[in-house]
Amino acid sequence: DVKVTQSSRYLVKRTGEKVFLECVQDMDHENMFWYRQDPGLGLRLIYFSYDVKMKEKGDIPEGYSVSREKKERFSLILESASTNQTSMYLCASSFRTAGNTIYFGEGSWLTVV
């Protein structure tokens, strides 16, 4: 089975803190994604990476950065957390060819106070 693992399920951080969300996949997928999911807004793409050290901005990259030093690992970084970044963050991965399923992790619930 495909496994996308997000290391932190629940986090509470203070405004201005630097936050790291880690994600690991075990399927040798080239693509990895970070989404946030908010009620009524659905899934919104923050960043995605199609290879090691490669990244592309998604629809809402402001306030976020990412790091992909190894193929299996993709990190989301909030340089200075703000309350409007309180959300559910979902990591996902897929093969880098058309018609391949995107698989999700269990999500990381971040609350910024």
Figure out which of the listed residues 28, 53, 84, 99 binds other proteins, where binding follows CB under 8 A: 99
Q: How distant, in Å, are the alpha carbons of 32, 40, 98 from that of 23?
A: 9, 25, 23
Nearest approach in angstroms of CB 108 to other proteins is: 10
Figure out which of the listed residues 21, 25, 31, 85 binds other proteins, where binding follows CB under 8 A: 31
Specify the stretch interacting with other proteins by CB under 8 A; choose among 11-19, 61-69, 72-80, 98-106.
98-106
Ranges assigned E (strand) in 1-113: 4-6, 10-13, 19-25, 31-38, 42-49, 56-57, 64-70, 73-78, 87-94, 103-104, 108-112
Q: Does 107 bind other proteins (CB under 8 A)?
A: yes
Q: Does 48 bind other proteins (CB under 8 A)?
A: yes
